[in-house]
Structure 1
C-alpha cells in the first residue's frame, strides 16, 4: 500500500513525538535544533495568572449548554469565511472545537485552525470580501493539507505500464497517486485520525496529527466478484459511534456497513435500501421505543407508542433526562436512521437484525427526493428536506395512517413551507432547545421556529402576521452540503457543495457566531 504524506505549514509534530525514518520522508533537509529547551519559570505562571482547572471548564461548558437549552431567540451572524476554488462536500470538527477539516471536489483534505480563524488571525483580502456581507472580515487559518488518495497495492502497482523498466533504471516505480473527491469525512474527537470515503468504495484511515495524511489502514472496496461486506462505489456517509471504536458507512451502492476499528473488518452488512444513501445519523437515546408491530388505526391514541398522547409528560421526561446528563445529547450506538435519494427513510436497530425495522416511504403529494434528514432532539421524530422547498416532520409514534384504499401512507405531522423560489432543502439540522430547525436551501439558510409555526397554523388567515422563520445572512446561491452547530451554541459552520449529485456551489465555508438573546 502506498502512503501519502501531507504538506504541513509550521508543522511541529516532529517535536511532539519521535518517529522512525521512512522512504516517504522526502524532506530530509529540515534540521531540528539540539539546544536544550527552556522550561518556563514559576514567575511566568504567576504573571499569566492561574490556569483554569478541568472542573471549572466543565462547569462553564455546562452553563453554556444550559443557556442554549433554555434559549428562545437566537441571533446568528456570519463572522468568517474560507474561500475555496471548488465545491466543499464535507466538513468535520474535533471537540472544542479545535480543528476544522474540510473535503472538496479537488480531492484534498484541508485542516484549519478553528481557534485562530475565529480570533481573526488572518483577515480576508478586498477581493475575497467583495461578494460577502459586511460582517465577514476574517479568513480561515490553514494549518495543513493532503491528498485524499486511493491506495494502490504492490501487485496492482506492478501491473502499471513501464513500471519494471523504470524500477531497473532508478529503483523507483512510476507511481502517480489517484486523487478522489472527498464526499465524506469523520474525525476522532481529539484529532488523532480521520476517516475519508473514496470513489472506489474503500475507506481510508488517515493520521491527522502525526505524519498528517499518511494512510494507517485501508478498509477495502469491493469488486464485481467480491462485493460482500464491501462498498463498490462512492462512500457518501461516515458516522462514528459514541466510543469511537466503530463506525457506519453509507454508499451510492445502496448499502450500509458497520465496521470495527479494533479489527479493521466489517461487522454487519445491512440489507440494501432502495436508493443511494444521503444521510446517516445515530438516534438520541431520549426518544420513544420503536415498535414496528404496532397496528395502524385511525385513533391517534392507539397510533401513539406510549398508548396515550400525553405530549406534556413526554416533554417533561425529556427535559429531566437532559438535566441528568448535564444538558448533553447522548446518542445510541444501536439505533440509527438513513435517508435515500429517492425520498425514503429507514430505521435500523443493530441489536435486532440486518434488516430495517421501519421504512417510511414518500408521501403521495411529495416529490421523491431527500438529500438530508435529521433526528429531532428528543429522537421521537425526523425532519427531512424535500425538493419542493419544504421540510416534513415525521413522528415515529405514528408514521403512517390508513388511506381510502386501506394501504398505509406516510403521515407528516408538520410541514414547514418556504417560498417556491428558494429551491430544494439540501441540509437540515435541529437546534439544542428542540424549538428551532436550521434549513439550508439554494438561496438562504433559514432558522425556523416550530412553536411559532404551530401558533400560525392555529390562527385564522386574517390574524396571521408573523413569519415563522428568520433568514440568516451569509450564504446565497448554492447547495448547502453540510452544517455544524457547536454543542455550546457559540458557533455554526456551513459548507456549500452538491456532494456529487446535482446543483451549484458558492465554493465557500462560512463561520457564524451565535448570540443567545
Structure 2
C-alpha cells in the first residue's frame, strides 16, 4: 500500500510524531534525554566532601532521586502532548461503562484455565489475496469478520470451517504446514463504502473492526477517519451511520464491556469514547503524541468468570501509540492525568500491540527491539521485567493472553511464540517459550484468542504502517496440557 508504507523517512517521522521533526527532541518524547544534572534532590551531597551516610539513608536518597527522575520524565511527556483538533459534542454523550452493567462473557473452557501450557495447532487456512488489517469475532465464535486492504468486510462461517465442511486442495495445502487441511468457509461479504465531501461513495481499506457479541451490528475504521456502523444479523451490510470526528485513519476500535459505548483511536493521536445510543462523543483522551496502536479495557474477574452481577466493569482503559507510550486512564476522573508506563532507556519507539493479563494486574507491550515489557498496575511507571526474544526474531507486532493467565502469545517477523510467564527467564538450560507453527516471515497484524481459549486466529498485514505481508490468515485449535 503505497500511501501508508511511508518509504520517505521525513514523512514517516512527521506522521509518527506530528509537525516538523525539529520541534520535538526524540529523547524528550521518549523520556530518555534527562541528564543526571536535571535531577535535584532536596538535600544534595556536597562534592567537596564524602560524608559517611548510613546505608538506609543512602537507599532513601536513591529512591527520592529515582522518583524525581520519573516525575520529570512524565512532565516532559505531558508537555509534549499536543491538544486534540477535535470538535467535542455539547452536551456530551453518556459514559456508558459507568452507568450500565457489562455483558456476561463466555467462561474459559473447563480444563483451560488451570493447565500449565497448551498445544496450539494450526488446522484452518482462510484464503485471502490481500493484507488483513483487522479481525473480530462474536462471543461464541459462530461468525468471524475480517477487513483489510481490498476494501471489503468478509464474514466467515467459523463453525463450518472448524468442522471441515470445505477442505483445502493439494496445491493450497502446499504453502502451509501439514496440519492445515481445512479451508475457511466464507458466508458473505460487503463493500466497505465511505462517503466523500461530494456525497459520492468509494471503497475504503478497513483499518479496524469490532463486532457486537451476538452479531447485532459491527463497527469499522476507515482511511478518511470515519467510523462505519453496519447491520449484521438483519439486512446484512447496510450502513446505519457514519461517526465522523477523526481526521485520519481509525487504527483501533474497542466496544465497551456494556456494549453501549465505543472507544476509537486514530492516526490523528486522538482517543474518543462514543455513546452509541446518540452517536455523540462522551469524552476525548488527549495525551499521545503519535498514532494510536491499541486500546483495551482492564479485564474484570466477574466478567471473566461469567458471573451475573450488577457490578460495573473496571473503569481503567489502556492505550498505546507507535512512539512507545502506554497510558492508563481512569474514566471516573475526567481531568486527571493518566498513569504513564515508560519504555526502558535506549528502547526504540515502537508499540504496535499491547494486552492485559487475564486477571487485569499486568500489561504487556511489544517493542521493536525483540522484547516484551511487563508492567504491574500500581507498581510505578517502569517495567517490572523484560522478556527477550532471539535477536533475529524481529519486532513484536501482536500479543494476546491465554486463559490460564501464564501463557502469552506473541508474534514477530519470523514466528509466533507462546511464552511461559512462570518459567525463569535467566535460566540458560531451558527455553521459556515454544514456537507455534504456521507463520514464518511477514508482519502479523492480529492475534485473536476467543473468550473460552479454545481457538486462536492470526492474520497477516501491516495495519497501514510498515512491513511486508504474505496475506496468510490461519485458525488454530487449542488443547490444554
Normalising by structure 2, we get a TM-score of 0.75
Task: Decide whether the 8 Å contact of 2:300 with 2:314 is kept in 1.
Answer: no
1:31-46 to 2 correspondence within 5 Å?
A: none
Q: Which moved more, 1:354-363 or 1:476-485?
A: 354-363
Partner of 1:314: none
Q: Does 1:180 align with 2:204?
A: yes
Give 1:360 shift: 2.0
With over 3 angstroms needed to count, the CA separation of the structure-2 counterparts of 1:354 and 1:195, relative to structure 1, is farther
Q: Does 1:69 align with 2:33?
A: no
With over 3 angstroms needed to count, the CA separation of the structure-2 counterparts of 1:374 and 1:178, relative to structure 1, is same
Task: Decide whether the 8 Å contact of 2:273 with 2:284 is kept in 1.
Answer: yes
Please point out which of 259, 266, 274 is paired with 2:274: 259
Give the distance between the partners of 2:303 and 2:263, measured in 1 at CA. Answer: 26
Q: Does 1:449 align with 2:420?
A: yes
Partner of 2:358: 377
1:89-108 to 2 correspondence within 5 Å?
A: 89-108=133-152
Please point out which of 210, 217, 242 is paired with 2:234: 210
Task: Decide whether the 8 Å contact of 1:285 with 1:331 is kept in 2.
Answer: no
Task: Decide whether the 8 Å contact of 1:65 with 1:327 is kept in 2.
Answer: no
SS at 1:91 equivalent = strand
Give the distance between the partners of 1:280 and 1:331, measured in 2 at CA. Answer: 19
Q: Does 1:332 align with 2:313?
A: yes
Partner of 2:327: 346
Partner of 1:249: 264
Partner of 1:290: none
1:379-394 to 2 correspondence within 5 Å?
A: 379-394=360-375
Whose relative contact order is higher, 1 or 2, with alpha carbons under 8 Å and at least 6 apart?
A: 2
Task: Decide whether the 8 Å contact of 1:80 with 1:510 is kept in 2.
Answer: yes
Give 1:477 shift: 0.7
SS at 1:117 equivalent = helix
SS at 1:236 equivalent = strand
Give the distance between the partners of 1:343 and 1:283, measured in 2 at CA. Answer: 19
With over 3 angstroms needed to count, the CA separation of the structure-2 counterparts of 1:72 and 1:359, relative to structure 1, is same
With over 3 angstroms needed to count, the CA separation of the structure-2 counterparts of 1:438 and 1:506, relative to structure 1, is same
Give the distance between the partners of 1:375 and 1:116, measured in 2 at CA. Answer: 31
Q: Does 1:282 align with 2:267?
A: no
Give the distance between the partners of 1:327 and 1:69, measured in 2 at CA. Answer: 20
Please point out which of 177, 186, 189 is paired with 2:213: 189
SS at 1:451 equivalent = coil
Give the distance between the partners of 2:207 and 2:250, measured in 1 at CA. Answer: 7
Q: Which moved more, 1:370-379 or 1:249-258?
A: 370-379
Cα deviation digits, residues 147-193 of structure 1 (max 9, x gap) = 1111357xx24xxxxxxxxxxxxxxxxx5x31111110010111121
Task: Decide whether the 8 Å contact of 2:166 with 2:185 is kept in 1.
Answer: yes
User: Is there any run of 5+ residues in structure 1 with no aligned partner, and where?
Assistant: 1-57, 158-174, 221-229, 287-320, 401-410
Q: Does 1:498 align with 2:469?
A: no
Give 1:322 shift: 8.4
Give the distance between the partners of 2:320 and 2:151, measured in 1 at CA. Answer: 25
Partner of 2:56: none
Task: Decide whether the 8 Å contact of 2:132 with 2:147 is kept in 1.
Answer: yes
Give the distance between the partners of 1:450 and 1:272, measured in 2 at CA. Answer: 31
Please point out which of 404, 425, 429 is paired with 2:396: 425
With over 3 angstroms needed to count, the CA separation of the structure-2 counterparts of 1:132 and 1:343, relative to structure 1, is same
Give the distance between the partners of 2:218 and 2:466, measured in 1 at CA. Answer: 27
With over 3 angstroms needed to count, the CA separation of the structure-2 counterparts of 1:393 and 1:135, relative to structure 1, is same
Give the aligned length.
376
Q: Which moved more, 1:122-131 or 1:475-484?
A: 122-131
SS at 1:422 equivalent = coil
Q: Does 1:127 align with 2:171?
A: yes
Give the distance between the partners of 2:372 and 2:170, measured in 1 at CA. Answer: 37
User: Is there any run of 5+ residues in structure 2 with no aligned partner, and where?
Assistant: 1-103
With over 3 angstroms needed to count, the CA separation of the structure-2 counterparts of 1:432 and 1:131, relative to structure 1, is same
With over 3 angstroms needed to count, the CA separation of the structure-2 counterparts of 1:214 and 1:323, relative to structure 1, is closer
Cα deviation digits, residues 35-57 of structure 1 (max 9, x gap) = xxxxxxxxxxxxxxxxxxxxxxx
Give the distance between the partners of 2:304 and 2:265, measured in 1 at CA. Answer: 33
Give the distance between the partners of 2:411 and 2:211, measured in 1 at CA. Answer: 23
Q: Which one has a bigger Cα radius of gyration?
A: 1
Task: Decide whether the 8 Å contact of 2:341 with 2:383 is kept in 1.
Answer: no
SS at 1:332 equivalent = coil
With over 3 angstroms needed to count, the CA separation of the structure-2 counterparts of 1:355 and 1:110, relative to structure 1, is farther
Give the distance between the partners of 2:378 and 2:287, measured in 1 at CA. Answer: 25
Please point out which of 435, 441, 446 is paired with 2:406: 435
Give the distance between the partners of 1:323 and 1:252, measured in 2 at CA. Answer: 31
With over 3 angstroms needed to count, the CA separation of the structure-2 counterparts of 1:485 and 1:363, relative to structure 1, is same
